[in-house]
Amino acid sequence: MPFPYYDSRVHPEQRARTAAKFELMHLADMRRRAEILCAMGYGKEETRRWLRAQVLWEFEMNGRPAFLSRVDEVVDLAFQFTPEAHELRPYRIMI
């Protein structure tokens, strides 16, 4: 007798909400990484290349994610701030 949890039917509305949250989470993560690279003195082009490579590496088994096309937008948003603004929001790096 099969167990009910073997059948994973997800409601379409829930699937849409989860997909939107998934994309927002990754966009926020990319922005944080871009802000850190900006604060470290990296240029926009280096940051774009690094973020694209990082996203492609993270999703190499699942195919290209839809938000990969928004890397330029995220980097431009992260670089709107000056390095002095980044000093006001220190990052704790855990090793």
User: 1-53: per-residue pLDDT in tens?
Assistant: 567 667 678 788 888 888 889 999 999 999 999 999 988 889 999 999 999 99
The residue count for the chain: 95
Please give the model's pTM, rounded to 2 decimal places. 0.71
pLDDT above 50 (res 88): no
